[in-house]
Amino acid sequence: MSYTRLWITAEDDRWLDAAVREFTGYSSSVIACDVESGLEHWMGGESTPDGRPGASILVFGFSSDSLARAVPNRVGQCVMTCPSTAVFDGLPQESKRLPLGKQIRFFGDGYQKSKLIGSKRYWRIPVMDGEFLVQESLGVAKGVAGGNIIIQARNQRAGLAAARRGSEAAAQLPDVITPFPGGVARSGSKVGSRYKALKASTSDAYCPTLRGLVESRLHAEANCAFEIVFDGVCEAAVAKAMRCSIAAAAGEDIVAITAGNYGGKLGKYHFHLRELMA
């Protein structure tokens, strides 16, 4: 998949958190969402372009064209509306670009102004607390999305604790996000459905209530399963995140940690868990 990186800054942590939550909302899976996005890491003022608190956001889509449609919409609706924010390009080294301020500037209704600093163009859009500063374009590159593990537990309490350990371990790493709520999905999916309109449907092989009705892939002692999905800027980033999450999730009442295979149809990158852990 293609990805881009945004650096969002704000006057303080309260408004920065509000912008991040808003932007990354409804972006768990491109099965139905326009993008998959999440917080990569928080940034101190010493590492942001304007010296204010910041956040690095990774955004994944099927193509650069899909990102070009989705990202300006999300920035305009979710970040420009948030008090005190600004947006900068987190992939300045990439020659392939997608428009950002170039599109959002029209909200200024003719009062917007541009500023060229070195080779970077910024747009200043008048808003009610002053100006919204946004870079004209963002770099876009090829990444890897859809790495996954499935944590199988004897009970929900143990499964929740393990899933949290696994997602929090991945959150400590650069270049990767886990886009589902809290980094965890309980409604894992399979490709296709008996209903023609659906591209995906419930992963029945991992649903404990469907034992006896379908060919189950659950461990005999498992009564609960959670999935963690990993999107990263490269194969190595996804592999490292999967490895760290598996190690962190293992523990009492976790009877198996497996992964969805999907017949090898979801892409050219395959992550074999035993090889990762070796």
Question: Same domain for 172 and 97?
Answer: no
pLDDT of residue 267: 80
Tell me the pLDDT tens digit for each residue of 228-256: 999 999 999 999 999 999 999 999 999 99
Q: Which of 105, 123, 141 is the last residue of a domain?
A: 141
Domain that holds residue 263: 143-277
**3: Cβ contacts below 8 Å, ≥ 6 apart:** 58, 59, 60, 61, 67, 140, 141, 142, 143, 145, 231, 233
- The two three-digit tokens of residue 65, written as one number: 């064209």
Tell me the pLDDT tens digit for each residue of 68-121: 999 999 999 999 999 999 999 999 999 999 999 999 999 999 999 999 999 899
Q: Considering the chain, what is the average pLDDT of its residues? A: 96
Question: Same domain for 113 and 157?
Answer: no
Domain count within the chain: 2
Question: Same domain for 106 and 14?
Answer: yes
Q: Which of 78, 106, 141 is the last residue of a domain?
A: 141
CATH of the domain at 167: 3.30.70.520
* Rounded distance between C-alpha atoms, residue 111 and residue 173, angstroms: 41
Q: What share of the chain is helix, strand, coil (3-state, %, to 5)?
A: 30, 35, 35
pTM of the model: 0.95
